[in-house]
């Protein structure tokens, strides 16, 4: 799998602009006071499917051959990757099948179905669904879309960091959530090409630390997935994102689930924005390293806003 080049990211930006609105990068003085830094939020929760991954889906299917489109596509997802594939498949007239864990976020499942995808349920977590998905892809001859090991997906989501730097050229640090790692890998590719001094920091739940441990060990490892933040919950690390992160990621932080829940509430209060667990993880991480961020210009990637009312009630009850 080739690592995307900067020219691939620029091309992805041109493609994506034809299909998706550009989410804003907003500055929030209330968050400045909280972190003693200048804080911007990249609002990927404003995307049509409420999450950043739609960029990758559009970029991938736009460059897919007619033969691949005719076969139909299949993906495994806890929700946001599936929405991305379903949205892009609808745009390009392609049949989409998504394999989701049996207890997947019902909000995200309904969104995938509303976009026209066939949703199948299998297993207790993402990786069980992924293994079933890979088996179905072989049996049915479908084009399997991995949620991380796809260069066009990574180039697509790399446009987030590209837009951040275009809108705020003096940014010092980009903090991004990590599940499989495509978003963080894309941020590294864009930021380090434009300005190697920009730091990229990843954040993951300590209750789903496979990507974090893989980054630390420089080896692909597996671990538990017990976090409520399904966008961060991958049991095994992905090869292509990790290869990029090993070379380019400046730091990686683990946060507790209660810290993520607190960050969801803070984003409601301070930025008047609704974030899911993964989308709030960058703020949770920033609070954990606030001393290092003092006086810096930082961008937090709010990767998604697909939180259920039950999850939100639990956060507000803390």
Strand order across the beta sheet in which 25-27 lies: 25-27, 38-43, 297-302, 173-177, 199-205, 251-255
Query: Measured between alpha carbons, how far is 116 from 226 in angstroms, rounded to an integer?
Result: 30
For the annotated catalytic residues, the residue numbers are: 53, 303
- 96: β partners: 73
């Amino acid at each position: 799998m080739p690592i995307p080049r900067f020219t691939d990211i620029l091309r992805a930006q041109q493609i994506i602009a034809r299909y998706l609105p550009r989410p804003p990068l907003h500055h929030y003085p209330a968050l400045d006071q909280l972190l003693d830094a200048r804080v911007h939020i990249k609002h990927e929760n404003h995307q049509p499917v409420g999450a950043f991954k739609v960029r990758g889906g559009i970029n991938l299917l736009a460059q897919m051959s007619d033969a691949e489109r005719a076969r139909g596509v299949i993906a495994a997802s806890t929700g946001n990757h599936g929405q991305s594939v379903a949205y892009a498949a609808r745009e390009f007239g392609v049949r989409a099948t998504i394999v989701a864990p049996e207890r997947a976020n019902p909000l995200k499942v309904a969104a995938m179905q509303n976009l026209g995808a066939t949703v199948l349920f299998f297993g207790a977590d993402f990786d069980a669904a992924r293994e079933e998905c890979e088996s179905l892809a072989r049996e049915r001859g479908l084009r399997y879309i991995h949620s991380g090991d796809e260069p066009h997906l990574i180039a697509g989501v790399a446009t987030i960091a590209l837009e951040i730097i275009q809108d705020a050229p003096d940014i010092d640090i980009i903090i991004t959530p990590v599940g499989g790692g495509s978003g963080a890998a894309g941020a590294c590719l864009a930021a380090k090409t434009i300005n190697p001094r920009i730091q990229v920091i990843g954040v993951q739940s300590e209750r789903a630390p496979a990507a974090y441990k893989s980054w630390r060990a420089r080896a692909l490892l597996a671990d538990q997935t017990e976090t409520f933040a399904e966008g961060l919950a991958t049991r095994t690390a992905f090869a292509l994102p990790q290869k990029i992160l090993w070379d380019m990621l400046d730091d990686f932080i683990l946060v507790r689930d209660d810290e993520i829940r607190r960050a969801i509430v803070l984003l409601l209060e301070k930025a008047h924005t609704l974030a899911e667990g993964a989308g709030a993880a960058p703020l949770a991480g920033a609070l954990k390293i606030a001393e290092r961020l003092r006086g810096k210009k930082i961008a937090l990637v709010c990767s998604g806003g697909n939180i259920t009312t039950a999850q939100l009630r639990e956060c507000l009850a803390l």
